[in-house]
Structures are given as C-alpha cells and as structure tokens.
Amino acid sequence: MKTHNIIIITGYSGSGKSTAITALEDAGFYCVDNMPVALLPKFLELPIEHDFKTAGLAFVMDIREKGFLGSHVSVFDSLRAEGYPFKILFLEADEDILIRRYSQTRRQHPLSHGKNLTDSIRAEKAQLKDLRKAADQIINTSQSNVHELKSMIQDIALKCGIPSSIHISILSFGFKFGIPKDADIVMDVRFMANPYYVPELRNLDGTSSHVRAFVLNSNECKEFMKRYLELLTYLLPLYEKEGKAYLTLAVGCTGGMHRSVAVAEAVFEYLKQQYSSKHIELHHRDILLNS
C-alpha cells in the first residue's frame, strides 16, 4: 500500500513556502524543506509514517535545488505510475509583493546571480510556468499574512482527512506563586468558597473526591463551569482556524491546591470527552509547593 497524504509545496521564492511547511508540520505531517527531487522516490520507500505515526509527508521543492527543473516532471510521472497519490501546492504572489518581501528580509533571490531582483523574479516565473499549470492547487499569498496562510494550509490538511493537532494544556496554579508565563487564557477562581478553611479538607487537594465535591457542587461553581465551558467550546475552533498549535488554559486560586485543581480536573474531563481526537494534557503546577 502506497503512502497517503503526500503534499509537495512549490512555487515562487518569497511566496510563503516556509510558512506553509510549518503549518503542515503543526498538523502532524513529517516535513522536509528543500528536498532534492531525485531523492524523493527513495525517501518514500522509508517507513517514516509507520515509525513516527505521522499524518502524512510534506516536501518543499523549488529552484534552490539545481536539478529540480530538469527532473521533477519525470520523477512525478514515475511516482504517479507507481501509485503514489500526492498533491502539488503552488504558492505565488504578485511581483510588487515579492519585491517588497525581499526588501524587508534582505535575502538574496536564488536566481540573483548577475541579475537584479525584478529580473530574478521574472526569470523564476518563466521557469516555473509549466509546473504551475500542473499544480493541483494554486495559492496566491499576496494579500495573506502569516496567520491567514497557515489557516489556509491547515484547511487543506483537514480536507485530506487530517484532524487538527492543536495541543491543549490545562494547568492549575496558585496566584501567590505567580501566573504561568506560557498561559494563553487565565481564569481566576478565587471567588469560590475555599476548602482550606474546612478543617477536614485543608490537608487534601483538589484531586480528592471530597474537595472536588465541595468545590464543584456549589451554585457559584456550577454556573461558572457552564459559562466557562461554553466559552471554550466557542473559542477552540477559532484558535484552530487561526493556526495555533499550542493552547494553555490556566486556572488559578490562592495557593493552587484546592479550587484551581478541582476546576482544572473538571475542565480536563470535559474536553477529553468532547474532543477525544485532540492532544489534551493536565498539569497541577503548585500542589507540591503547599505540602
């Protein structure tokens, strides 16, 4: 059985190929930049997908590799004849946009030897004319920022049947030990009744059934959880659309031992049930600091 979900990214220099390959890597693809086209058949024989459990393979191939223009047609035709299904994405941008991007980055164009930038861009366009016609999809990135392009590429991954690979971390913490630096959304649950002031609960933490019942069964917590989980259900697809690879949800109370832990546990259980295909982690940062 041949490898599935092979995507070849090509196109004009400065059109966003590096952003595209990063987006596919975030979507779970095994990615190789500046892949020599002659090595592609041998590479596809390697057990990469089996060994690494990848969503697919993605390669950036372009005129940086000297043999690309002379070899890609025969290599691609040969692979198709052998039954390898792959998609060619051709990225382009308007000439004035490419000139501006190169001016901003101050990088040299691959065809700049003996030519000015404008001539180099036009020469590349002429050399890639046939490949552009053969592409399965052409994406003009002239009006797209990095986030918009990543979103478009991840939409392509989704159409290949690849689920979003956003990593969600739920983190409980104590405000007295500082807010986590990597938190994307911080929720303060210090308004809830504190089990610390209940003698039989003081030395337990939010992972215990007694503390969880005390915290989660209060009217304030029930209403909070309803609204907070509705908010997360609304936000998560938007973060995925934006192309975010990691999302950290931080829940804090005074010491990070009782209320935040109980709420974080409940949020974790809810998200695991609702989004079973996603990678979701739970961490309690400050439990040990209270012992």
- What average pLDDT does the segment 54-83 reach? 90
pLDDT tens-place string over residues 156-181: 877 766 555 678 999 999 999 999 98
pLDDT at 167: 85
Q: How, if at all, do strands 6-11 and 185-188 pair?
A: unpaired
Mean pLDDT of the chain: 89
The alpha carbon of residue 69 and the mean position of all alpha carbons in its chain are separated, in whole angstroms, by 31
What's the maximum distance between 2 C-alpha atoms anywhere in the chain? 81
Q: Nearest 10 degrees: CA dihedral of 17, 19, 20, 24?
A: 140
At 43-68, the pLDDT tens digits run 988 876 555 567 789 999 999 998 89
Domains and CATH numbers, the chain: 6-159 (3.40.50.300), 167-290 (no CATH)
On whether the pTM is more than 0.75, the answer is: no
Give the closest residue to 285 by CA, choosing from 184, 170, 143, 141. 170
Pairing of strands 86-92, 56-60: unpaired
* pLDDT over 50 (residue 1): no
Q: What is the pLDDT of residues 246-287, one digit of tens each?
A: 899 999 999 999 999 999 999 999 999 988 778 899 999 998
